[in-house]
């Protein structure tokens, strides 16, 4: 979902956004690319960076999965008051 929100980003940036180590995000990106869900390319400004973005199929899948992601998030937050949910969002934003 993060990649759908962000558009094209470096693998390292994506890893930071989702809280994964570079080696982990690299492996996941390779698997997603082999399934045709993302495309990768070297950054024209910095050849050391690998940029990733959703393909058309990846965007379609992300759109289809969005309601399930939102439902899971809502269910997880159910025990919290609205105030606590807002505090949680603020704290999670700080972590990201």
Instruction: Give residue-wise pLDDT tens across range 29-50.
Output: 999 999 999 999 999 999 999 9
Report the pLDDT value the prediction gives residue 93, as an integer from 0 to 100. Answer: 82
Decide: helix, strand or coil at residue 47: coil
* Token code pair at residue 33: 């690319």
Report the pLDDT value the prediction gives residue 79, as an integer from 0 to 100. Answer: 94
Model confidence, pTM: 0.77
The segments of the chain whose pLDDT lies below 70 read 96
- Burial string for 72-94 (b: 16+ CB within 10 Å, else e) reads eeeeeeeeeeeeebeeeeeeeee
Q: In the chain, what are the domain boundaries?
A: 2-95
Q: Does domain 2-95 have CATH number 1.10.10.10?
A: yes
Q: Residue 9 is inside which H or E element, if any?
A: strand 9-10
CB atoms within 10 A of CB 11: 20
CB atoms within 10 A of CB 26: 15
Report the pLDDT value the prediction gives residue 4, as an integer from 0 to 100. Answer: 87
Report the pLDDT value the prediction gives residue 86, as an integer from 0 to 100. Answer: 93
């Amino acid at each position: 979902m993060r990649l759908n929100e962000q558009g094209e980003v470096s693998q390292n940036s994506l890893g930071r956004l989702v809280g994964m180590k570079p080696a982990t995000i690299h492996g996941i990106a390779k698997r997603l690319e082999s399934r045709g869900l993302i495309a990768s390319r070297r950054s024209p400004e910095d050849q050391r960076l690998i940029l990733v973005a959703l393909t058309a199929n990846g965007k379609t899948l992300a759109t289809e999965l969005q309601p399930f992601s939102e439902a899971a998030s809502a269910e997880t937050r159910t025990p919290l008051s609205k105030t606590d949910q807002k505090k949680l969002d603020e704290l999670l934003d700080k972590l990201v």
